[in-house]
Amino acid sequence: MAGADAQRVPASRAPVIFLGPAGAGKGTQAARLAERLGVPRISTGDMLREALAQGNELGRAAEPFLERGELVPDHLLIKMIRDRIAAADCARGYILDGFPRTLPQAEALEEMLGSSAQSCIVLNLEVPREELLKRLGGRGREDDKGHAVEHRLQDYEDLTRPLVVFYESRGQLHRVNGFRDKDAVSADLQRIVEEQA
């Protein structure tokens, strides 16, 4: 029966893009949603830190930026994501956590996705700035210290905020209040993605 088959072999899902500043809970929520949907979560922060640990070409190129808490140059991220989403495990969908973060990255993604770009689901986790500072202050990772925290939040305002406008103008943006209990946030995100499927 067609219905039963459809349950056994999940149809491919539209790519999901997470936006939101450092500390908004993107990583946690993206991981939960990925598990729920059975698709990989592609975390650019994790991939960059792994490249750094391996000391490979990408890691060496990204290192000075990561240390300063600055965005890594677009061309490095674009290549990294282009290669990653071409992998077999992304064929049935994936969640992008940390990409795109700038307009040139968003434009490059549009090109990579072609006609499926229109079906992307964009989730924007919103948390007040004071709460972000509080959360990041308590997190203690090397690039979460003082000046670096301010820097990352400022980069978000300057470079990533325009993406909110970009995706909103195309009717792809879903705003979610991230200043709530984690489970309530997860439930909302899941509902949005399932409604779009």
* Residue 85 structure tokens: 């989403």
Q: Does 152 bind ligand ADP (CB under 6 A)?
A: yes
Instruction: Please check whether residue 59 is in contact with residue 52, taking contact to mean a CB–CB distance below 8 angstroms.
Output: yes
Single residue of 18, 94, 99, 167 touching ligand ADP by CB under 6 A: 99
Pairwise CA distance, residues 123 & 60, whole Å: 31
Phi and psi for 179 in degrees, rounded to 5?
-95, 55
Single residue of 14, 143, 172, 193 touching ligand ADP by CB under 6 A: 143
Q: Which is nearer to ligand ADP, 37 or 163 (CB)?
A: 163
CA distances (Å), 73 to each of 59, 66, 101, 190, in order?
12, 11, 11, 32
Sheet holding 95-97, edge to edge: 41-43, 95-97, 16-19, 121-126, 173-177
Q: Specify the residue for token string 């219905």.
A: 3
In the range 7-66, which residues lie near ligand ADP by CB under 6 A?
22, 44-45, 48, 65-66
Q: Which is nearer to ligand ADP, 14 or 22 (CB)?
A: 22
Q: Which is nearer to ligand ADP, 29 or 105 (CB)?
A: 105
Pairwise CA distance, residues 161 & 99, whole Å: 13
Size of the site for ligand ADP (CB under 6 A): 17
Q: Which residue, judged by CB position, is nearest to ligand ADP in the bound state?
A: 45
Of the candidates 98, 91, 84, 121, the one whose C-alpha atom is nearest the C-alpha of residue 196 is 121
Q: Does 71 bind ligand ADP (CB under 6 A)?
A: yes
Q: Does 172 bind ligand ADP (CB under 6 A)?
A: no
- Rg of the chain over CA atoms, in angstroms? 17
Q: Which is nearer to ligand ADP, 29 or 194 (CB)?
A: 29
The CB-of-43 to ligand ADP minimum distance in angstroms stands at 6
Q: Which is nearer to ligand ADP, 99 or 167 (CB)?
A: 99
| Chain residues that interact with ligand ADP, rule: CB under 6 A | 22, 44-45, 48, 65-66, 69-72, 77, 98-99, 101, 105, 143, 152
